[in-house]
Amino acid sequence: MKTLPEEFYPLMEQLQAVDFVLVELTLYLDTHPDDLEAINQFNHYAKERKKLKKAVESIYGPLQQYGNSYSAYPWNWNDSPWPWQI
């Protein structure tokens, strides 16, 4: 098992917290697509996640998770086509 330095864990904890916020905002926005403040929060945390992801990946290697895209207004994440429909 690869041993990671102690500095890795606070960065991953921050990234996991932001991922949690993004998942919760996604669920909320699926039922409240016109909530501009929530969309702004989603976009803010998506940007924050991108910075954190870049910091982690530059030191420890690639990651893959949520928050890689911004949303338009109204919330457009659930618009077709879905990936399996293409």
- Cβ–Cβ < 8 Å for 14, 67: no
- Residues 28-77 have pLDDT tens digits of 999 999 999 999 999 999 999 989 988 887 887 766 556 655 567 887 66
Q: CA 56 to CA 52: how far, in whole Å?
A: 6
Give the pLDDT band of residue 86 (cuts 50, 70, 90): very low
Q: Select the more confidently predicted residue: 50 or 81.
A: 50
pLDDT at 5 over 70: yes
What pLDDT shows up at residue 31?
96
First-to-last alpha carbon distance for the chain, in angstroms, is 39
Enter the tokens of residue 40.
Answer: 């702004």
- For residue 59, the surrounding DSSP H or E stretch is helix 36-60
Q: Select the more confidently predicted residue: 53 or 86.
A: 53
Three-state DSSP class for residue 6:
coil
